[in-house]
Structure 1
Amino acid sequence: MFASIKWRFIVVYFLLVFIAMVIVGIFIIGRLESQQIANITSSMEQNIQTIIESISELAEDDWMIVQEDIQETLSAWGFGSNETLYVIKNDDIATVIASSSKKNKRIIGESAFINGKYMDSELILAAYNGEKLSKDIPDSNENTVANHIAYPVLTDVGKVKGIIYMVSDLENVYVTVNESKKILTNATMIALIITVFLGYLIASSITEPIRDVTNKAEEMAMGNFEQFVEVKSDDEIGQLASMFNHLTLKLKDTIREMDLERSKLDTIFNYMAEGVIAVDLSGNIIHANPIAIEILELTQEKSLEPYSIFREAIPLKLINLDDINYDDETTLEGDRSLEIDSHVYKVKYAPFKNERNNIGGLIIVFQDMTNEHKLDNMRKEFVANVSHELKTPITTIKSYTETLMDDGIDEEMEQRFLAVIDNECDRMARLVKDLLQLSNLDYKKTTWKKQEVSAKKLLKEILLKLEFAFKEKNHKIIVDVEENLPNIVIDKDGIEQVILNIISNAIKYTENGGEIQISSRCLDDTISIKVKDNGIGIPEEDRQRIFERFYRVEKGRSRESGGTGLGLSIAKQIIEAHNGEILLDSCFGEGTTVEIKIPYEKV
C-alpha cells in the first residue's frame, strides 16, 4: 500500500498535522498549567499581605499574648475550602499559634517542623531567613498537589517576628488542565480525520494524472503510439501532461523517419552490386544481402546458421578472419582478395558498433574484381608482348638510320630526318626498356643485387648527376639530410632509379626559379626520403591514379619531355619489392610531396 505515492502523501500530511497538534498541545497545556499556578501564587501573596495588614495583633512583638485574637480573626476570615493559613511564631521550635483549618485544630501549639505533611520545613527555614518562597508539594494522602508559600512577617528593624504559612490546593488547576487536554485530544483527532480526507483528495488530484501518464506510457511501450493525455491544469502536472503529448508527437515523427531511413537502407542493401554480410563477435552471420547469398552459395536458412557452417563452404582462410582481434580496433578494418569459382573478389571489412557504442561485429563487403583482374592480366601480357615485338624493329631502324646518315642525299634534309628518326628510336628504346622492366617486376623475374649502401652517400651521388638539370631551370635546392643515417640493404641501381625519377619529375613540373626540398630522416624502423616541390601540383581527381601505368596528368607535356607514363609505376613496384612504401601528397597549383620509406635493420 505504501508503495503508492498517494498513501505517501496522506501519511506525510497526517504526520505533519499530528506533530503540529502535539507541539501546540504541549505548549498550550504547559503554558496553561504554569499560568494557573502563577495566578494562584499571586493571589495567595495578596491574601497574605491583606491578612498582615488587617490583623493588627500581628504587629505585636509577642504573638503568644494575642494568640486567641489572631485565631478568632482567622476563624472569622472567609477562606475557601481549598485554602489553609497557618501563623507560626519565630521561636526555637517554630510553634504554630493559629490556623484557619477547622479540621486541624490540634496542630495549634505544636512545632511546624513535626507536621511535615501540612508544611514544608525548607520553606519555613527560608522564611526565618527573611526569604519569601513558594513551592508545589504533592499531598501523599489525597494524591493531589498543593501550592505552599511561607511569608515572613518583619519588625520595624527588619527582624522576623513570625511566618504566615499558606497552603492552596491545586486540584481545580489540574482539573482544568486535564479538561484542556481532553479538548485538545479531541480537536487533534478531528483534525487528523479531516487531514486524512483532504490528503486523500489532494493526493488523488496529483496521482491520478500521473497514473494516466503511466498507463499511456505502458501502451506506448507495447507499440501503440496513439496516446495523448488530457491536460486539466497549468501547474506542474499539467506541464507534465503537455510535455508527454509533445514527446508522443516527436516520437511518432522520429519513428516515421527511422522507418523511412530503414526502408532506404534495406533497398540499398538488397539492390547494391556488392555482396554484403554482417557477422557478430561470435562469428555468426546475422545478415546477408541477395548478392552475398549468391556469391557464397548460401540458402536463407544457412545465412542464419553459425559462421562455422559458412566457413566450411568457402576458403575463408584466404580472408583469414581468425587473426582479427576484437580488442584491437587497428585489426578490425582492412581489405583482402579472395577467389571463388574463378571469380576474384576484393573483400573489405570494417567494424560496426551496437547501441552501447561497443564493437558488435564486422561488416564484410565482397566487390567483384574479376573484370579488372582480367584487364590487369591483359595489360601485363600486352606489355610483355609489345616489348618483345618492338625490340627487333627498333634495332633495324637504328641500323638504317646510321646508314642513311652517311648517304649522299641532301645533307640538310637528310640530317633533319635522320635526327628525328634517331630521337624516335631512342624514345621507343626507352619505352621498351620500361616495358621490359615492368614485365620483369610483374612476373617477379627481376634479380635484385642487394648490398649495404649509405643512404647519405647515395643521395649525394644522385644530386651530383642532376646538378646540370637544376642549374638549367635555375631551381633553388634545399637539402636537409640527417646526420648518422644508418646504412640500408638495397638494390642500388633500382633505388637510384626511383629517386632519380622522383627528383626528375619535380624538376620537370616545377617552373624556372622554383624551389625543391630534398630531406632524409631516420624513423622508427625506416629511412624516409622526401622530395617536395612548389610546382604545378596534381589535380585531386588524378591523385588516385598517378601510379597507374601509362597514366599521365599532362599528356602533351609528358610526351614533350620524353615521358612514357611508366616511371612512377616502376618506382612503386621497386619500392614495394624492397618492403617499403611510396607516398604522394599534392595540392593543385601549390606543389607535390613524394616520400619514400625504406626499412632497415636496427643494430
Structure 2
Amino acid sequence: MFKGIRFKFITIYFLLVFMAMVIIGVFIIQQFEQYHLDVVRGNLTQIAGSVMTTLEEIDWQNNKEEIQKNISPYEKMGMEIYVIEKNNDFTIISSTNLSYWNQNAMYILDSDLILSGFHGEIKEKDIVSSQENQRSSKNMIFPLYDEHSRITGAVYLRQNLEDIYRTLDQSKSILTRATMLALFITFVLGYFVAKSITGPINDVTIKAEKMARGDFDQVVEVKSDDEIGQLASMFNYLTARLRTVLQEISNEKKKMDTIINNMADGLIATTAEGKIIHANPIALRMLKLQGETLTNKTFDDVFSSLNKKLTLGFFEEKKKWYGNEIIDVEGNVKLRAKYAPILRENGDLEGIVVLLQDVTEYEKLENMRKEFVANVSHELRTPLTTIKSYTESLLDGVLEDKGLATDWLNVINSETDRMTRLVQELLQLSKLDYKKSKWNKAEIDINEIVKNSILKLEVSAKNKKQQLEYIGAEEAIFVLVDKDRMEQVVLNILSNAIKYTGESGKIKIKVHQENNHAEVIIQDNGIGIPSQHLPRIFERFYRVDKARSREMGGTGLGLSIAKQIIEAHDGEIEIFSGEESRGTRVTISIPLVKRELAYD
C-alpha cells in the first residue's frame, strides 16, 4: 500500500500543505508579535517622552510628590513607571507601584538595563517568562540629564505583555487547528484526486495483466479528456490493434499449419542445439515415428542412423548448411532429405529445416525408364543386327544362290515385320499415354467379341492339341466398348494362354455378369507366373523368362497395352497365378451399359 502511487500522491499533498501552513503560521505569528511589540515600544517611548518633559520642568529630585502626581495617571493604563535617582543605591524615588519607593532598583528591575541607561543609552529589553510567578514584559530605560548634560537619573518603564502573548498563544492554537483541518481536508481531497489518477491506471494495469494471460477482450472506460483519458484511449486502441494483429497472426499460423500438415512432403524443424520443434504428420509417417516419442529425441537421434551426413555435427564440420541426401527407411522406401538453415537477422544460426520427399516411386519409375530404354534398344538391336548380317552376306555373294538367298530374305522380312510390330505397339502405347487414341465405342455383346477372338486363335490351339472350353452367358451382355480394341485385349490374353500352355493343355474361357459388370475369365493350366513377378507383370517389356519370350516372338508390350485399353473403358484387368506349372487366370471386368427402364 505504502509503495503505491496513491500513497505517494497523498504524502506529497500532505507535506506541501503542512509545510505551507507551518511557514505561513510562523510568519504570521512573528509579524503579529513584532507588530504588538512595536506598538508597546511606541507607547512606552511616547509616555517616556511626556514624563521626561514633565520632569525637566520641575525640580524632580526635590519634588518627589510632584513626580508621583504626574506619573500616577499612567497606572491605570497598565504601565509601570519608575524614576531612579543616580546614587550609590540607584534608589527609586517615584513609581506607579508605591511598594517600591525608596528601594534599590538593582534588586527589583533589570540591572543590565539600568546600567545601560546610566551610561547614557536608551535601551529596551523584552522579558518573556514561562514561569507562573513571573510575568512577561517590555522594559525600557531613558537617561535623565541636568542642565549641564550630566546624567542625574533615569526613567524606567515596564509594560505587561501577558495579554499580547496570550493572544499569540490563542493565535497559535487557531493556526494549529486550521493546519490540522487543512491537512485533514488535504488528505481527503488528496485521496480522491489520487484515486481519480490511479484508478484508471489500476484499471489499465489489471486489464493489461489479463491480456498477459491471453484475454484480449479488454476495454478501459474513458472518463476524461486529460492525459489519463488519453492513456485509456490509447490503451483501447492498442488492445484493438493487438487483437487485430493477433487475429491476423493466428489466421496466418492456421494457414501455415494447414499447408504444412497437409502438404505431400514431410517437414521437420529443429533448433541450433538439435531440439525438434516441429514435425508434420507426413514426416512422422515417412520416418515411422510417433509424435510422443519424438519429443524425447534430438535431430541427430532421428537422422544419424539413417544417414551419417544428416547430423548437426557433420553440418558444423563441413560448414555445409544447404544440400540434400537420400535416406533408406524400412520397407524399401527411399526419401530425399533437403535441408536448409534458419537464420536470425544478424546471420546467426537459429535452426535447421528438413524437407522429406518420398522418391520411392520416382526411383522405381527412373529404373523402369532406364530398363525400358535398354529393352527398346535391345529389342531393336537384335533384328537390326540380324538384318545387317544377312544383308552383308547377300552382298558378299550369297545372292547368287537363289535358294539360300530366298531363305535369308525371308528372315530379313520376318525381322522387319517384328520391328514394325514393335514400333506400332510403342506408338499405340504413346497414344494411350497421351490420351490421343480415337475410340469408336458402341454397345456390343461381350459374348460376340470373345467368340470372334476364339475363332481367330482356334487353329493355333489345335496345332498344339489344346482344348478351348468356352462358357458363354445365357443372355446378351452389352457393354460400351471399342470392338476392335477390346478384341485386341482378348486376343492378347488368349494368345498368351495358348503360347505358355503346353501341348494337350486346357484353356477355359468364361463370360458372365457380376455386379453390374461383364467379366471375361481366361484360365489355363500352363507354366504359370511366379508370385514375385506378378506385381510387375503389366510393366512395359517386362518378361518372366526373357529368353523364352523372345523365342516365342513376344515384345513384352501386349499386357501393358491391354491394361491401358481396359482402364480407358473404366474397367479392370487382373492376373492370378500360383506356383509354376499351376496355370494362370486372367479376369477382365467391364461396366455394363446403363439402360433406362421403359414403361408402356
> TM-score, normalised on structure 2?
0.55
* Corresponding residue of 1:194: 185
1:187 to partner: Cα distance: 1.3
- C-alpha contact (below 8 Å) 1:57/1:69 kept by paired residues: no
Question: What do residues 42-73 of structure 1 show as CA deviations (whole Å, max 9, x unaligned)?
Answer: 11111110111233455x4xx43233432343
1:101 paired with 2:89, answer no
User: 1:450-599 alignment to 2 at 5 Å?
Assistant: none
* Corresponding residue of 2:323: 335
* Corresponding residue of 1:503: none
* Corresponding residue of 2:250: 259
Between the aligned partners of 1:150 and 1:303, the Cα distance in structure 2 is 109
1:87 to partner: Cα distance: 1.1
* Corresponding residue of 1:244: 235
Between the aligned partners of 2:169 and 2:349, the Cα distance in structure 1 is 77
Between the aligned partners of 2:295 and 2:34, the Cα distance in structure 1 is 89
* Corresponding residue of 2:16: 16
1:239 to partner: Cα distance: 0.9
* Corresponding residue of 1:129: 119
1:316 to partner: Cα distance: 4.3
1:319 to partner: Cα distance: 1.6
Change (3 A) 1:44 1:152: same
Q: Where does the alignment leave 5 or more consecutive residues of structure 1 unmatched?
A: 387-603
Q: Secondary structure of the equivalent of 2:98?
A: coil
Between the aligned partners of 1:259 and 1:346, the Cα distance in structure 2 is 29
Change (3 A) 1:376 1:16: farther
1:281 to partner: Cα distance: 4.6
1:348 paired with 2:339, answer yes
Between the aligned partners of 2:18 and 2:228, the Cα distance in structure 1 is 28
Between the aligned partners of 1:219 and 1:46, the Cα distance in structure 2 is 81
- C-alpha contact (below 8 Å) 2:68/2:96 kept by paired residues: yes
Between the aligned partners of 2:41 and 2:367, the Cα distance in structure 1 is 124
Give 2:356's match in structure 1, choosing from 360, 366, 373.
366
Between the aligned partners of 1:37 and 1:332, the Cα distance in structure 2 is 100
1:344 to partner: Cα distance: 5.6
1:183 paired with 2:174, answer yes
* Corresponding residue of 1:90: 86
Between the aligned partners of 1:131 and 1:377, the Cα distance in structure 2 is 138
- C-alpha contact (below 8 Å) 2:268/2:278 kept by paired residues: yes
Between the aligned partners of 1:12 and 1:323, the Cα distance in structure 2 is 67
Change (3 A) 1:229 1:148: same
User: 1:142-291 alignment to 2 at 5 Å?
Assistant: 142-156=133-147, 158-291=149-282
Between the aligned partners of 1:141 and 1:105, the Cα distance in structure 2 is 25
1:332 to partner: Cα distance: 7.8
Between the aligned partners of 2:246 and 2:84, the Cα distance in structure 1 is 102
Q: Secondary structure of the equivalent of 1:225?
A: coil
Q: Secondary structure of the equivalent of 1:144?
A: coil
- C-alpha contact (below 8 Å) 2:300/2:311 kept by paired residues: no
- C-alpha contact (below 8 Å) 1:302/1:310 kept by paired residues: no
Instruction: Detail structure 1 runs of 4+ shifted over 4 Å in the superposition.
Output: 138-141, 356-360, 367-379
Q: Which has the larger displacement, 125-134 or 199-208?
A: 199-208
* Corresponding residue of 1:37: 37
Between the aligned partners of 1:334 and 1:203, the Cα distance in structure 2 is 62
1:175 to partner: Cα distance: 0.4
One-letter code of the match for 1:131?
A: E
1:277 to partner: Cα distance: 0.9
- C-alpha contact (below 8 Å) 1:346/1:369 kept by paired residues: no
One-letter code of the match for 1:339?
A: I
Change (3 A) 1:312 1:240: closer
User: 1:347-496 alignment to 2 at 5 Å?
Assistant: 347-351=338-342, 360-366=350-356, 371=362
Q: Where does the alignment leave 5 or more consecutive residues of structure 2 unmatched?
A: 378-600
- C-alpha contact (below 8 Å) 2:84/2:156 kept by paired residues: yes
- C-alpha contact (below 8 Å) 2:304/2:311 kept by paired residues: no
One-letter code of the match for 2:157?
A: M
* Corresponding residue of 1:67: 64
One-letter code of the match for 2:80?
A: T
1:362 to partner: Cα distance: 2.7
One-letter code of the match for 2:322?
A: G
Between the aligned partners of 2:127 and 2:146, the Cα distance in structure 1 is 29
Question: What do residues 568-600 of structure 1 show as CA deviations (whole Å, max 9, x unaligned)?
Answer: xxxxxxxxxxxxxxxxxxxxxxxxxxxxxxxxx
Query: Identity rate of aligned residues, in percent?
Result: 36
Question: What do residues 188-223 of structure 1 show as CA deviations (whole Å, max 9, x unaligned)?
Answer: 222222222222332232233333333333333333
Q: Secondary structure of the equivalent of 1:150?
A: strand
Q: Provide the aligned length of Structure 1 versus Structure 2.
A: 368
Question: What do residues 89-136 of structure 1 show as CA deviations (whole Å, max 9, x unaligned)?
Answer: 2344433322221232351xx3x33x1xx3223222222232211011
One-letter code of the match for 2:289?
A: L
1:119 paired with 2:119, answer no
Between the aligned partners of 2:31 and 2:302, the Cα distance in structure 1 is 93
One-letter code of the match for 1:103?
A: S
Question: What do residues 257-316 of structure 1 show as CA deviations (whole Å, max 9, x unaligned)?
Answer: 101211222133224444321223543322112332233221222322222794388334
Question: Which structure has the bigger radius of gyration?
Answer: 2
Between the aligned partners of 1:373 and 1:250, the Cα distance in structure 2 is 54
1:334 to partner: Cα distance: 3.0
Between the aligned partners of 1:239 and 1:173, the Cα distance in structure 2 is 56
- C-alpha contact (below 8 Å) 1:229/1:244 kept by paired residues: yes
RMSD value, Cα:
3.6
Give 1:77's match in structure 2, choosing from 73, 76, 88.
73
